[in-house]
């Protein structure tokens, strides 16, 4: 037995299988998200672009239990989890070449000696979620058993193991791709477990036109590689498709290649462009050996906040000519994220204006440089000398708009990951609170989305009903029953007895007047599952 196997075993628990179908209130979710694209898949997941890690770009077929668990451990200890990276995703090559006698998928026992349910338990104990890979054909791209014709059986297996995310690939299928993918969508829904559905359609079959009804994200391009030209090709294809993306449904220009061979400048450009396009941020490097520079790129909270902006708008091209691009992404609260991108191999000045990026007339605009962490002011012109292959990325806020997120310093990465998981996720420190002196007013909507004997999934929407922005928030409440939170998403949840404290993960720490944030959690109960009613936002009672 390898060194980590005993630890993994000790954490194993029966995977949670939801016994009741999830009842997801689309209207409430649309309220939380600002908007939802027409006919979006109503599984309530990925209201902001998914964030996480996947082994494929760094390891290819050499995935294993130890790689996945060590990476999960590092994500929890390095600041990645706190920054919002919560999915740990296994790609192709995890399977045995044959199904078992009952037709069930079986993990390769050499690579995953404790099985996938044990890995899921390990990852969940760290407060993270586990993703897995399958294919809509007879075999995966690497030749392992595919899910075609086994959709419900495989979805049931994934739910029983505690899987939270499925990447569904496009090899060896019979051409009826849309129907096959929808069969898996329906099979996942029938399990009752919230499982994010990610299509790997490589931009074929105009997947963006039917992606939102089928999945939470869909690949718009072929496979990325760790080169500037590959990254550029995927950017150019994906940036045209903004109209199809929104909360719950995202264009996916493929996983990040940051740390895999491009220059630091090119890595920063990829991160900025992906965030500007509201793309999933799935790190694809060997995190266990990643440099401090790679980690600080992946942990730029200013840029992550643009990606995770709750309005969920994909940025669009304002201009693109001669390798010089201007992109604009409207943000919740009235600011716009602007990227000035120089594709060329020599420095160039790139210019636009506040009006051209869609901002209303104002006496002045604040330009927050999201990489340099500096702030300047302009009457309208937005211009910078941009080095070769680089971006300059600004959050542009018109005078009169209440708040901009405070840049959060990147956490220092931990140099040496260990295999010992922390069974109790450590809550992030509470952000400081400010409403600029105005009275705080808030409303909270708590909805139980799914409930079964002994367990439940809840969604919470916190709206700022006051006149000033809430800059940093914690929400307190008390369970009237004996509920215990086991997993949370989009926030950090700490529980002591019946008393619960929820804190922002950082990317949504500012709640503008009239705006709302949402988070959710899964938990257990024994005698009583009564919804809490008394909520306190930064100590003030909400209605």
Residues noted as catalytic = 169, 223
Please choose, out of 111-119, 134-142, 233-241, 343-351, the segment that lies near ligand GLA by the rule CB under 6 A.
134-142
355-to-198, 382, 521 alpha-carbon distances in Å = 36, 10, 41
Q: Is 495 helix (H, G, I), strand (E, B) or coil?
A: strand
Q: How many of the chain's residues bind ligand GLA (CB under 6 A)?
A: 10
Q: Distance between CA 388 and CA 132 in Å, rounded?
A: 38
Closer residue to ligand GLA (CB): 192 or 284: 284
Q: Distance between CA 515 and CA 395 in Å, rounded?
A: 18
Closer residue to ligand GLA (CB): 141 or 207: 141
Q: Is 108 in the site for ligand GLA (CB under 6 A)?
A: no
Query: Torsions phi, psi of 240, nearest 5?
Result: -80, -10
Q: Distance between CA 276 and CA 285 in Å, rounded?
A: 21
Please choose, out of 75-83, 135-143, 299-307, 523-531, the segment that lies near ligand GLA by the rule CB under 6 A.
135-143
Q: Distance between CA 529 and CA 194 in Å, rounded?
A: 20
Inter-axis angle of helices 116-125 and 151-161, nearest 10? 40
- Work out how close the CB of 492 gets to ligand GLA at its nearest, in angstroms, rounded to a whole number: 31
| CA atoms within a 13 Å half-sphere pointing along the CA-CB vector of 252 | 33
Task: Work out which of 24, 44, 56, 327 binds ligand GLA, going by CB under 6 A.
Answer: 56
Closer residue to ligand GLA (CB): 90 or 444: 90
- Work out how close the CB of 137 gets to ligand GLA at its nearest, in angstroms, rounded to a whole number: 11
Closer residue to ligand GLA (CB): 223 or 369: 223
Beta bridge partners, 326, equal 319, 340
Q: Distance between CA 155 and CA 72 in Å, rounded?
A: 23
- Work out how close the CB of 185 gets to ligand GLA at its nearest, in angstroms, rounded to a whole number: 19
Q: Is 136 in the site for ligand GLA (CB under 6 A)?
A: no
Q: Is 169 helix (H, G, I), strand (E, B) or coil?
A: strand
Task: Work out which of 20, 106, 142, 485 binds ligand GLA, going by CB under 6 A.
Answer: 142
Positive or negative, the CA dihedral 248, 252, 258, 260 is: positive
Closer residue to ligand GLA (CB): 226 or 303: 226
Site string for ligand GLA, 168-187 (x = CB under 6 A): -x------------------
Specify burial of residue 370 (Cβ count, 10 A radius: 0-12, 13-18, 19+): buried
Closer residue to ligand GLA (CB): 92 or 154: 92
Closer residue to ligand GLA (CB): 69 or 92: 92
Please choose, out of 100-108, 136-144, 158-166, 231-239, the segment that lies near ligand GLA by the rule CB under 6 A.
136-144
- Work out how close the CB of 49 gets to ligand GLA at its nearest, in angstroms, rounded to a whole number: 17
Q: Is 92 in the site for ligand GLA (CB under 6 A)?
A: yes
- Work out how close the CB of 225 gets to ligand GLA at its nearest, in angstroms, rounded to a whole number: 11
Q: Is 200 in the site for ligand GLA (CB under 6 A)?
A: yes
Please choose, out of 118-126, 140-148, 234-242, 534-542, the segment that lies near ligand GLA by the rule CB under 6 A.
140-148
Q: Is 223 in the site for ligand GLA (CB under 6 A)?
A: yes
**What does the DSSP assignment read for 380-447?**
SEEEEEE-TT-EEEEEEEETT----PPPPPPPPPPSS--S---SSPPPPPPPP---TTSPP-EEEEEE
Burial 28-52 (b: 16+ CB within 10 A, else e): bbbbbbbebbeebbbbbbbbbbbbb
Please choose, out of 35-43, 138-146, 331-339, 449-457, the segment that lies near ligand GLA by the rule CB under 6 A.
138-146
**Residues at the site binding ligand GLA, with contacts judged by CB under 6 A:** 56, 91-92, 140-142, 169, 200, 202, 223
């Amino acid at each position: 037995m390898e060194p980590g196997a005993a630890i993994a075993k000790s954490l194993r628990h029966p995977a949670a299988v939801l016994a009741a179908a999830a009842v997801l209130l689309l209207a409430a979710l649309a309220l939380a998200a600002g908007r939802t694209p027409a006919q979006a898949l109503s599984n309530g997941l990925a209201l902001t672009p998914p964030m996480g890690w996947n082994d494929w770009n760094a390891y290819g077929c050499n995935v294993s239990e130890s790689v996945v668990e060590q990476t999960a451990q590092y994500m929890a200890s390095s600041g990645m989890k706190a920054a919002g990276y919560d999915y740990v995703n296994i790609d192709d090559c995890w399977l045995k070449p044959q199904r078992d006698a009952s037709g069930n998928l079986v993990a390769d026992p050499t690579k995953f000696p404790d099985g996938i349910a044990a890995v899921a338990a390990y990852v969940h104990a760290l407060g993270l979620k586990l993703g897995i890979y399958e294919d809509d054909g007879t075999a995966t791209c690497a030749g392992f058993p595919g899910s075609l014709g086994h959709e419900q059986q495989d979805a049931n297996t994934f739910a029983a193991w505690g899987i939270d995310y499925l990447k569904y690939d496009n090899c060896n299928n019979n051409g009826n791709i849309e129907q096959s993918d929808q069969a898996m969508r329906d099979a996942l829904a029938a399990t009752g477990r919230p499982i994010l559905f990610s299509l790997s359609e490589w931009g074929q079959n105009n997947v963006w036109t039917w992606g939102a009804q089928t999945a939470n994200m869909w690949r718009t391009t072929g496979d990325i590689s760790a080169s500037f030209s590959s990254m550029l090709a995927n950017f150019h294809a994906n940036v045209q498709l903004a109209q199809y993306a929104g909360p719950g449904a995202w264009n996916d220009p493929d996983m990040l290649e940051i740390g895999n061979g491009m220059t630091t400048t090119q890595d920063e450009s990829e991160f900025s462009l992906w965030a500007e396009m509201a793309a999933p941020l799935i790190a694809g490097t060997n995190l266990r050996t990643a440099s401090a520079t790679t980690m600080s790129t992946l942990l730029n909270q200013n840029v992550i906040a643009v990606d995770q902006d709750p309005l969920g708008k994909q940025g669009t091209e304002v201009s693109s000519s001669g390798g010089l691009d201007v992109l604009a992404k409207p943000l919740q609260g009235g600011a716009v994220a602007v990227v000035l991108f120089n594709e060329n191999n020599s420095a160039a000045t790139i210019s636009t204006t506040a009006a051209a990026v869609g901002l209303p007339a104002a006496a002045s605009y604040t330009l927050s440089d999201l990489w340099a962490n500096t702030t300047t002011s302009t009457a309208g012109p937005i211009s910078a000398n941009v080095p070769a292959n680089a971006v300059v990325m600004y959050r542009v806020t018109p005078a009169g708009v209440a708040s901009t997120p405070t840049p959060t310093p990147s956490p220092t990465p931990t140099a040496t990951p260990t295999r010992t998981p922390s069974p109790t996720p450590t809550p992030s420190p509470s952000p400081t609170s400010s409403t600029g002196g105005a009275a705080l007013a808030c409303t909270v909507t708590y909805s139980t989305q799914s409930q079964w004997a002994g367990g439940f999934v809840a969604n919470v929407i916190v709206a700022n009903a006051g006149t000033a922005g809430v800059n940093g928030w914690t929400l307190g409440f008390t369970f009237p029953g004996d509920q215990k939170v086991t997993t949370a998403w989009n926030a950090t949840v700490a529980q002591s007895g019946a008393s619960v404290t929820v804190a922002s993960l950082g990317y949504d720490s500012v709640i503008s007047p009239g705006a709302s944030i949402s988070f959710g959690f899964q938990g257990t109960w024994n005698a009583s599952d009564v919804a809490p009613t008394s909520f306190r936002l930064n100590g003030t009672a909400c209605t």
